[in-house]
Amino acid sequence: MASDTATVVIPGDDPPQIGDSDALERLRQRARLQVYRDRPANDEEKIRRVRDADVILSSRSAVTWRETDFVQLPRLKMIATCSVGTDSIDLDAARSRGIVVSNLPGVNAPFVAEHIFGLMFAVAKRTVEQTEALKAGQWHASLPNVMLQGKRIGIVGTGAIGAEMARLAKGLGMEVVAWTFNPDPQRERELGLRYVSLDELLSTSAVVSLHVRLSEQSTGLIGEAEIAQMRPDAILLNGARGPVVDTAALIAALERGHLHGAGIDVFDQEPLPAGAPMTRCERVVLTPHAADQTPEAVHAVNDAAVGNVLAFLDGNPRVNAAQ
């Protein structure tokens, strides 16, 4: 399409992601750009903001795009995301209407994996609990920590982030096994790990780290039965999406002392509501979907997202593989 007539809209940059990025200057030179700093209050406002958009640059997955939205947006030709995940977009509906969806597979993998690795250490060494105890004047040196070297980590999902987790874990001296919906012997050799059944992974791993994309298949993948299979001293890490885990089942397991703990960066509802049950749960370390919120990661993600839009305007769209 003619880029000089294209309108690009960022419909809700909250929390801030790309609105102040220098990368947007490249777009301003090629198209009309509208940036909204706050999230739309409702669907009506969302549609009003993007009604004239040829391209939506979506910085937050909390703003969703469904078939009912596309019906009202006849001009829309592309959605570019500042993320790997596309669960906020109805990909089938987009494809049927010829709307290109471009995400960022692999761009944030090193940053996310490092963050989840940090959560693993925080849970294993009980850093939050021990810090809080010391601040309260208590000396609980007897709180049991977990040795990670030599232990087995089970990685669920071996895309870019799961692969990076495997690399870090092997560097620490952990044994790495994995499970994925579509195991590939070549991928297994490339990553230097061993694919096993999900049952074996859950029942034998000291750490279970989740890195699958959210889909109908993966929703509720780790439920009450799966958590019960896990070792009572195991650690569960979720760097995928909140609904991959049955949150109520996880909380119940933690409260009865099954599992050493959990490190969670993603939630069923984001932002996490004040007073949510997970915030009252012991043995957890929580971060606000912040795994790729380093200056380096934000720059890389914003630059790549703008690059996807410019490629589309140049007639060379980079289409999300999930389509």
What is the side-by-side order of every strand in the sheet holding 55-58? Answer: 32-35, 7-10, 55-58, 78-81, 100-102
Q: Answer for the pair 9, 296: CB distance below 8 angstroms, yes or no.
A: no
Q: Is 237 helix (H, G, I), strand (E, B) or coil?
A: strand
Q: Answer for the pair 108, 274: CB distance below 8 angstroms, yes or no.
A: no
Helix (H) or strand (E) holding 133: helix 127-135
Q: Which residue has the tokens 């809209």?
A: 9
Residues 6+ apart with CB under 8 A from 20: none
What distance in Å separates the CA atoms of residue 315 and residue 323, rounded to the nearest whole number? 18
Count, residues in the chain: 323
Structure tokens at 181: 């919906």
Structure tokens at 317: 């769209």
Looking at the DSSP bridge assignments, the partners of residue 156 are 179, 210
Residues annotated as catalytic (active site), given as ranges:
241, 270, 289
What distance in Å separates the CA atoms of residue 161 and residue 69, rounded to the nearest whole number? 31
Q: Which residue has the tokens 């692999």?
A: 106
Q: Taking the C-alpha atoms of 294, 123, 212 and 319 in order, what is their torsion angle to the nearest 10 degrees?
A: 0
Would you tell me how many other CB atoms lie within 10 Å of the CB of residue 138?
9
Q: Which residue has the tokens 């829309």?
A: 76
Burial 222-253 (b: 16+ CB within 10 A, else e): beeebbebbbeebbbbbbbbbbbbbbebbbeb
